[in-house]
Structure 1
């Protein structure tokens, strides 16, 4: 039985900057667990990166240095998050960004994860080629998804990504005539040329 794409952990990081290779660190993690298309658990924590964050990041995320002063260290939060992930596959919007930070922070504490990553951004580019752009906020409005919260906070972004993911799976089921969408199908779709999407679904 191939893993079901409706049973995944959807995650989002807020960070001090764009690149862990340049020394940037995670400052917030938000995640939801989907089981058969239903959110069953949530994980959200701020974390102290060990230094002050820039005024730009404070403005962009709404996370302030004062908020991080009382937060647990990154290593502690990441250890807890590793336990939360378990064996599940992972989803993020612009997953290459979140995967870089997850891998970097886990490497610091000698933890790993067995699941694979899928990128809702790449999938959306194949499914919704008429959408003006494929930013999370644009796609949420495009698909008439509603929620309460603010973008650029990790848990809200994770939740909105999860709802977008489920909307995309519904559209994939319609095009593929499958009752359950395998995780492998979605990861393959994300690597398919846009002009070949119709042929891709005919193969499944």
Structure 2
């Protein structure tokens, strides 16, 4: 049975972090990283963004490149790319991009798909630092991704593995807006959605390139759902739950 999207969303944002968790870390991240995340958790007010008008909503649209689809089986994050969007306006100069140090050899398929090879990752920063830097960049913003279950799964896994911290940021899926604006559209792949909306497909399967395309897509659909009378994220989730 398909879970009601509103119920699924509310489950996503539930849960508290026990402060004693931070004391149990055993060298998985630096004390500075843990302290930063602890402060971030205090600042994170998940419910507030529900009622911010879409025209004023600050978002960070992001993408992960990974070695596969299953972090619980050892697949790793290779890179993170992100760009800020204010209301419906993409801030092309406000970007984040970093490779992440990765153990082991990459498959030929991943190297061909992403253009990343082992030499690129040899001197890249550790994932713990990349995540902390990314969260700092995204501070105070709603996270947005295209078909976000992939990104959410990896961030949940590595937040716990590296920091013993639950991942509590909201991630809004671009497909939520697409389903409202064009319920009959059978679009799944990012490039198909972009072509449908006349967004140029540039640097596909590069984390920052995909983030920028997703941001343009988000901008298009934020405008379209507002034309349908939807004013904020709460109304987005209410519409999906019907």
Q: Same fold (TM over 0.5)?
A: yes
Of the candidates 199, 204, 219, which is equivalent to residue 145 of structure 1?
199
Q: C-alpha displacement at 1:32, in angstroms?
A: 1.0
Of the candidates 204, 218, 227, which is equivalent to residue 174 of structure 1?
227
Q: Given the superposition, is the C-alpha separation of residues 82 and 188 from structure 1 closer, same or farther in structure 2, using an over 3 Å criterion?
A: same
Of the candidates 184, 187, 196, which is equivalent to residue 234 of structure 2?
184
Q: Given the superposition, is the C-alpha separation of residues 161 and 187 from structure 1 closer, same or farther in structure 2, using an over 3 Å criterion?
A: farther
SS in 1 for 2:100: strand
Q: Given the superposition, is the C-alpha separation of residues 38 and 133 from structure 1 closer, same or farther in structure 2, using an over 3 Å criterion?
A: closer
Q: Given the superposition, is the C-alpha separation of residues 4 and 23 from structure 1 closer, same or farther in structure 2, using an over 3 Å criterion?
A: farther
Check whether the contact 1:118–1:187 (CA below 8 A) recurs between aligned residues.
no
TM-score, reference length from structure 1: 0.82
SS in 2 for 1:159: helix
Identify unmatched segments of 5+ residues in structure 2: 1-47
Partner of 1:80: 133
1:3 aligns with 2:57: no
Distance in 2 separating the partners of 1:34 and 1:157: 14
Partner of 2:112: 59
Q: C-alpha displacement at 1:103, in angstroms?
A: 1.6
Partner of 1:117: 171
Q: Given the superposition, is the C-alpha separation of residues 3 and 109 from structure 1 closer, same or farther in structure 2, using an over 3 Å criterion?
A: farther
Partner of 2:216: 163
Q: Given the superposition, is the C-alpha separation of residues 48 and 126 from structure 1 closer, same or farther in structure 2, using an over 3 Å criterion?
A: same
TM-score, reference length from structure 2: 0.70
Identify unmatched segments of 5+ residues in structure 1: 197-204
1:135 aligns with 2:184: no
Partner of 1:38: 89
Distance in 2 separating the partners of 1:187 and 1:136: 22
What is the RMSD computed on CA atoms of the aligned residues? 2.1
SS in 1 for 2:228: helix
Check whether the contact 1:27–1:48 (CA below 8 A) recurs between aligned residues.
yes
Q: C-alpha displacement at 1:112, in angstroms?
A: 5.7
Q: Given the superposition, is the C-alpha separation of residues 131 and 30 from structure 1 closer, same or farther in structure 2, using an over 3 Å criterion?
A: same
Q: Given the superposition, is the C-alpha separation of residues 120 and 188 from structure 1 closer, same or farther in structure 2, using an over 3 Å criterion?
A: farther
Q: Given the superposition, is the C-alpha separation of residues 182 and 62 from structure 1 closer, same or farther in structure 2, using an over 3 Å criterion?
A: same
Check whether the contact 1:93–1:121 (CA below 8 A) recurs between aligned residues.
yes
Check whether the contact 1:140–1:160 (CA below 8 A) recurs between aligned residues.
yes
